[in-house]
Each structure stands twice: as structure tokens, then as C-alpha cells.
Amino acid sequence: MASKSSSGTADPSGFFADLVRCETRLYNALNDRLRERHGIVTSQFEFLRYLRDHPGCRVADLAAEFAVGVGATSKGIDRLEREGWAARQPNPSDRRSSLLALTDDGSRLVDAAEETFTRELAALLGESLDGAAGPAVLGFLAELRSALERDRIGTPTG
């Protein structure tokens, strides 16, 4: 763990390394479980869950939520459409964009995958958030994310 220097003070570059390595390992482990049990990967699950929770959203809304380029997001939706899990519908208020919706198959898939995701994430996290530091860590990450999003830091331009 690299979050503290040898003197015991906070080390921002070590914190960054710890945060990124934890995210990567959790993401990869969840990816493996979702693929073997449901035939999807974590990014597809996250898109499907967003579509379920935000009916009538647009590709641009997904791109903004996940801080991913619009082109990459559109390609991700194309793959979900090819599998029959999502559909684009005409946007009555803007002919240049489409509204996104889950299909019945997509709805069933995301609900089943969410059970796996929730169970596996809980197992991976174990009791690490149950201690005294858990609420502080969660609060810090929520505050950091809010500040980054508010100031549009790390938002792709394309």
C-alpha cells in the first residue's frame, strides 16, 4: 500500500496508485464473474443499469455519466443493440439524437446481472468498509467525485 509516505504523512501519488489499482482489480474481478454468469462485461452491465435507471436517456447522457467519449459510448450502445438488449428510438424533441431504451431481454439481463454484481462486490469488499474509516472513505470519494464533475475535470472532449 502506497498511500502513506515513510514518515506516515499522506502521499497523493501513492493514494492515486492505490485507488487506480483497487479500481482495476475490482473491475476485472467483476468483469470475470459477469462474463461467466451472464455473458456480459462490466462496461455493458453499467450501461444497461444506467438505461434501466434513466429511461429515455441519450448517448450523450451516458457519455457524461461515465466520462467516456460520445463515439465510444455510441459504439457500446451499438453492441447492446446487436445483442437485442437496447434500442434507439427517435427523439421527438431533437431529430439529431435518439432516446435509448432497454428491451425486455435487456431488462431481464440487467436485473439478473445486478444480483451477481451486488453479491460479488460485497464479497470482494468484505468488511473493509465496515470499520471506523469506512464512512470517511465513502464520504471522501463522493466529495472528490462531486468536485471533479462540478468542475468538469477529466471530461472527454469528443
pLDDT digit string (tens) for 71-109? 999 999 999 999 999 999 999 988 888 999 999 999 999
pTM as predicted: 0.86
Tell whether 6 is covered by a domain: no
Quick check: 7 pLDDT over 70? no
What's at 75, amino acid-wise? K
Tell whether 155 is covered by a domain: no
Q: Which domain holds residue 134?
A: 12-150
In the chain, the number of structural domains is 1
pLDDT, residue 11, reads 85
Report d(CA 147, CA 98) in Å as an integer.
30
Tell whether 156 is covered by a domain: no
pLDDT digit string (tens) for 111-129? 999 999 999 999 999 888 8
Determine the Cα angle at 60 with ends 51 and 39, to 5°: 40
Residue 88's beta-bridge partner residues?
100
Tell whether 7 is covered by a domain: no
Tell whether 157 is covered by a domain: no
CATH of the domain at 140: 1.10.10.10
**C-alpha distance across the termini of the chain, in Å:** 35
pLDDT digit string (tens) for 25-68? 999 999 999 999 999 999 999 999 999 999 999 999 999 999 99
